[in-house]
Structure 1
Amino acid sequence: MAKLFIYVFVILFAATEVAAHEAPTGEDSSLLRAIEKGGYILYLRHGEATVGEDQTELNFNDCRTQRNLSEHGRDQARAFGVIYGKQLIPIRYPVMSSPYCRARETAEIIFGKQNVVVAPVLASIEKLRIESYPAEKKQQILSDLSKIFETPPAHGTNTVIVAHTFLPHVALGDIPNLGTVIIKPKGTGRGYEIVGRISFDQFIQLTQDLNTSHIRR
């Protein structure tokens, strides 16, 4: 436990140092205040994954056939786990995760294994990156994802999804490791709006500021 505490302290300190060069804007702070009230989808890309590779005969139940989290990626997820554990942001459980090990492990580290449900449709995001994949099938994937992104969460909560990045200019676009895309659902059949993007470092800094303001209240 002591080792984990030191680990988290180091990652938070490092993130704060980096955030000094990538300072959150007033708009970011306002957005985080809005998330406090619920009504959004928080789409997270998994942590850094550099171990192994996705094999042709990939098996979702066998992480040896996939590209997996690096130790740094796990550190990122642990830092997020500390933040979400403070319950500053209302979350609708369970959170949804892609079945890929790198996404599932990220979600389980942050939110706890018991609070994660696998959504098979999220695995299809990786197929969007394959040039030879049929265009009509890609369109179906995007349609299925839109149905998720346009569905509002329960009142006063936020839906969390942990999955993958997209190609630039496709759906949610390019997302850095553990970057968060904030989506405002408009309701079934009405689409959704991307209202903000927060990097890992910005999110660490913003939630530290939010925690400080809660303490002062």
Structure 2
Amino acid sequence: MNSSLLNSLRKGGFILYVKHGEATVGNDLPYLNFQDCLTQRNLSEMGRRQAIYYGEILQYLQIPINYPVSVSPFCRTIETAQLAFGSGNVQVNPFWFEVVRLSGNLPISDSQRILNNLKSVLETIPEEGKNNVIIAHSFPEGVGLGQLNDMETAIIKPKGIGNGYEVVSKLSLGDWSTLD
């Protein structure tokens, strides 16, 4: 990443949409319960290390974050956010579960509603001098922000409600260390 992007991020005004850290292999159970982490895929040890590193690198790069960070109700997204930003700086937003639903067999009307809600979130300009962080899930190929790898960040520049947004960059976890 170049220094102009880093300087822009330090001034705030972006949304960092991050896919959670590496999760255990398998699937969430059909009787998924958000209050029971045993019914879902959770962070692996690698995923925990990724989350801690992510928080450390953003702090080291002096990128200002607007707290609380918004997370999906899955244990893996909550734990990623808590390890990166501290447990008191996390707020669960059930909307981010909807991103997971986009990978399923949804009626077009449901998909469109989810994508319209996503658009309005990504058009919302953060508090002056800060960046909003969302820790959630990858999208299906060609939908929303597209596919993201573990801890990959889509950096979004919102243009205000009704004015759209721009995906400025996508950074892997390793890309952050090249910004300095």
TM-score surpassing 0.5? yes
- In the other structure, the counterpart of 1:98 is 72
1:204: how far off? 2.5
1:203 and 2:176 equivalent? yes
Task: After TM superposition, list the pairs within 5 Å mapping 1:113-124 onto structure 2.
Answer: 113-124=87-98
Aligned partner of 1:152 in structure 2 is 125
Query: Could you tell which deviates more after superposition, 184-193 or 28-37?
Result: 28-37
CA contact (8 A) 2:57 2:176 kept: no
Where is the helix percentage greater, Structure 1 or Structure 2? 1
Question: Matched residues in 1 for 2:7 and 2:145: separation?
Answer: 22
> Cα RMSD between the aligned structures?
1.3
Alignment correspondent of 1:19: none
C-alpha distance in 1 between matches for 2:61 and 2:44: 26
SS of corresponding position for 2:73:
coil
Contact 2:152–2:170 at 8 Å: present in 1 too? yes
**Residue ranges of structure 1 left out of the alignment (5+ in a row):** 1-23, 210-217
- The aligned counterpart of 1:7 is none
Deviations 1:44-101 (A, max 9, x none): 1100012553111111111111011110010111111222344700111111011111
List structure 1 runs of 4+ shifted beyond 4 angstroms.
none
Which runs of structure 2 are paired with 1:10-29 in the superposition (5 Å)?
Answer: 24=1, 28-29=2-3
Letter in 2 for 1:155: E
The CA distance in 1 between the partners of 2:44 and 2:138, in whole Å, is: 17
RCO (CA 8 Å, sep 6+): is it higher in 1 or 2?
2
Query: Which residue is equivalent to 1:126?
Result: 100
- Partner SS, residue 187 of structure 1: coil
Q: Secondary structure at the match of 1:133?
A: coil
CA–CA distance in 2 between the matches of 1:162 and 1:187?
A: 21
After superposition, what is the alpha-carbon deviation per residue over 1:11-42, rounded to whole angstroms, capped at 9, x for unaligned?
xxxxxxxxxxxxx4xxx332122101101001
2:38 to 60, 64, 67: 64
- Cα distance in 2 for partners of 1:34, 1:85 equals 15
Query: Is the partner of 1:69 in helix, strand or coil?
Result: coil
**How many residues matched?**
180
Give the residue type in structure 2 aligned to 1:198.
Answer: L
Q: What is aligned with 1:174?
A: 147
Give the Cα–Cα distance (whole angstroms) in 1 for the partners of residues 143 and 26 of structure 2.
Answer: 26
TM-score by length of 2: 0.95
d(CA) in 2 for partners of 1:137, 1:95: 26
**What percent identity do the matched residue pairs reach?**
49
Mean Cα displacement is larger for which, 85-94 or 30-39?
85-94
